[in-house]
Amino acid sequence: MMLEFVQLLRQRYQDVITNQDGRDNRQSDYPSRVEQLLYAEALVRKTRLVAEQPQLPLQIAVIGPTQVGKSSVVNALLGQSMAVASPLAGYTVNPQGFCHRLNVDDCSGLQHYFGRFQRVDDLASNPPRYDCFLLKTVPEYSTNLPECVIWDTPDFDSIDAIDYREGLVRTIALADLVIVVVSKEKYADQSVWDVLELIEGFGQPTLICLNKLAAGSEPVIIESFERRWRQTRTDAVPTIVAIGFDSQTATTAWPSAASGIVARLATTVTRKQQPHVLRHWLSRRWQHWLEPVYAEQAALRHWQSLVEQALTQASELYRRDYLDHPQHYQTFQAALLKLLNLLELPGIANVMSKTRRVMTWPMRKIMTLGRQPISTTSNHELDVLKRIAEHVLIQLADYLLEKAEASRNPWWRDSARLLREQRPQLIEHFNRAAIGYHRDFQQDVDAASQRLYRKLETHPLLLNSLRATRISTDAGAMVLAIQAGGIGVHDLLITPILLSVTSSLTESAIGGYMHTVEADLKRQQLHAVENRLFHGVLQQSLYPLPTLSRSKARFHIDERQCQDAENALKENAHGLRLL
């Protein structure tokens, strides 16, 4: 779990670096975070290896900058020439492990630890492959070393070191004991202290080897090194072994006075604390690593709160411009129109219906001559909803652009681009959904008219009065329709009836009930619009919109992934869940 998360985070950092925006100054230290995550991945691998193979032989890593004689020190400790020493800078580019008093078979778990790196018996490839490591058995025993695997490692400060850094880092993290080799020319280099600072907390006993020292220079260099150590690290200054430079033989000999020092230091190695070492080391850097990830997650939450605000405003606009507008709200009028059909007397209804069809024939005939037919329901509500949706998208787009300019954060600029690209599809989707809602809501309109009719049935006198008004008004409207030649029959027919019926209902004993039905219908309509359109379409489309980006300038790590990793970091006191 933790390994996969660290690998994911490092890969995302590398992607962001490759595609970084020069205007974002916050990314200047991203390369150092990639370096730290490389060490984190290796440390997680080490913790897993120790848990799975507690009998793994002691691992010793000899590390240092270029041209300090690491390979020569390895050979001096082994008492035989195993590591290839070269005067060329950066000659060693692969980890080279030498099994002392062991067989290669005793180290079978190392292949799993190094992962994609291939174990080889020699490093004769030209050009060299960086994704491999050497492991071979030492033919003779040395009194300078206990049973162990001693590793000669690549440098970390040459120009090409970035190419083979991963193998070096894995070897450093693998080590139970670290021997740091520096020379009088290199001990003060910042690269040395960057590495020493980074691996503090790994729980590795350390031995310092000051190599290639001229006679008489030891006290000054040792004092300077100790002073720098105290400035950089919080633990005690480790044991220091000084090795002089023999200009005649140009060889490195391990001092006889230090023959047992590595073995004594090896007795201080303990692996039981490895899970705690891992947890402590990760915890110290966790917030720093995830700072840009948390920023993206906060930006997403901010965006979603903006969507919520825009939808709240959309609901207010819908109330103002339609539901509560005295001229534009026509849904309840549609319910009253349906009530008119229910008021028609059986027998008379068929005659009136046939008469209407005859009266309106001229108008219907004219309508077939290339003009759109007049709908029996108004589309004003759909127009209002469309304008509201467009207003929401424009408002959000403007905010995204302002935020992108103010923060110079690529997340906002990328989200603005996504909204601009998705806007036509969003509007089309919303309009289709609005038409579907408008069609489906007619069932609620029918239900409202049925409620009014059932209420009227409890008042027979009022019901008969309204039926009489319905017949007389309808007949009068037909006379006007004949005089108008059938043009505009719909308007002439409906208006007087609605005025008469509405007036009668309002002044009657069920006037209050009629207003209750109208208020209920408005509430149902607002609820339907908010759920099906504002939340069901706009919110569901806009909430995840920024996550649709495939830009490699962003991290794309969600809160659930972070939470799972953080839970793994905190929950188990023994660290096993980290693995």
Compute the half-sphere exposure of residue 551: CA atoms within 13 Å on the CB side of its CA: 20
Closest by CA position to 149, among listed 113, 195, 196, 193:
113
Contact (Cβ atoms closer than 8 angstroms) between residue 161 and residue 65: no
At 171 the pLDDT is 97
Residue 366 predicted with pLDDT over 50: no
**DSSP labels, 111-150:** HHHHTTPEEES----SSPPSSEEEEEE-SS--TT--SEEE
Per-range mean pLDDT, top range of 195-209, 360-374, 465-479, 565-579: 195-209
Distance CA 149, CA 61 (A): 8
Which superfamily does CATH assign the domain made up of 55-270 to? Answer: P-loop containing nucleotide triphosphate hydrolases (3.40.50.300)
Q: How many CA atoms lie within 13 A of 548 on its CB side?
A: 13
Q: Shortest CA distance to 578 belongs to which of 177, 205, 281?
A: 281
pLDDT tens across 133-186, in order? 999 999 999 999 999 999 999 999 988 889 999 999 999 999 999 999 999 999
CA distances in angstroms from 371 to 69, 100, 364, 499, listed in the order given: 94, 97, 10, 29
User: CA–CA separation, 385 vs 381, rounded Å?
Assistant: 6
Residue 20's H or E segment, with its range, is none
The pLDDT assigned to 485 comes to 46
Q: Which of 465, 161, 214 is nearest to 343 (CA)?
A: 465
| Across 107-116, 336-345, 471-480, least confident range | 471-480
> What pLDDT score was predicted for residue 379?
78
**Percent of residues, the chain, with pLDDT higher than 70:** 82
109-115 — which CB contacts under 8 Å span 24+ positions?
A: 109/49, 109/52, 109/53, 109/56, 110/135, 110/149, 110/174, 112/49, 113/45, 113/46, 113/49, 113/170, 113/174, 114/167, 114/170, 115/45
Give residue 258's identity as a one-letter amino acid code. Answer: A
Would you state the pLDDT for residue 334?
81
Q: Which of 2, 3, 9 is nearest to 290 (CA)?
A: 9
d(CA 449, CA 455): 10
Res 496 pLDDT > 80: no
Residues 6+ apart with CB under 8 A from 475: none
Which pLDDT belongs to residue 326?
Answer: 82
CA distances from 539 to 95, 430, 526, 529 (A): 54, 11, 16, 12
Closest CA relative to residue 169, chosen from 39, 64, 70: 39
∠92-96-102 over CA atoms, to 5°? 160
Does the predicted TM-score (pTM) go above 0.75? Answer: yes
Which pLDDT belongs to residue 359? Answer: 43
The alpha carbon of residue 294 and the mean position of all alpha carbons in its chain are separated, in whole angstroms, by: 9
* CA terminus-to-terminus distance, the chain: 6
**Do 279 and 575 form a contact (C-beta atoms < 8 A)?**
yes
Of 501, 499, 498, 494, nearest in space to 477 by CA: 494
* DSSP track, 376-407: SS--HHHHHHHHHHHHHHHHHHHHHHHHHHHH
Parse the chain into domains and list their residue ranges: 55-270
Over residues 47-55, the mean pLDDT reads 93
pLDDT in tens, 418-431: 999 999 999 999 99
| Residues 147, 58 contacting (CB under 8 angstroms) | yes
| Token pair listed for 569 | 């970091």
Model confidence over 436-481: pLDDT tens digits?
Answer: 999 999 999 999 889 888 888 888 877 777 777 666 665 555 444 4
Confidence band for 487, pLDDT divided at 50, 70 and 90: very low
Confidence label for 22 from pLDDT (cuts 50, 70 and 90)? low
State phi, psi for 132 to the nearest 5 degrees. -150, 165
According to the model, what pLDDT value does residue 577 have?
52
Distance CA 179, CA 71 (A): 12
Instruction: Answer for the pair 96, 123: CB distance below 8 angstroms, yes or no.
Output: yes
d(CA 139, CA 147): 13
Mind listing the pLDDT tens digit for each residue in 313-336?
999 999 999 999 888 888 887 887
Whether omega before 127 lies within 30 degrees of 0, making that bond cis, reads yes
267 in Cβ contact with 237 (< 8 Å): no
Please give the pLDDT value at position 21.
66
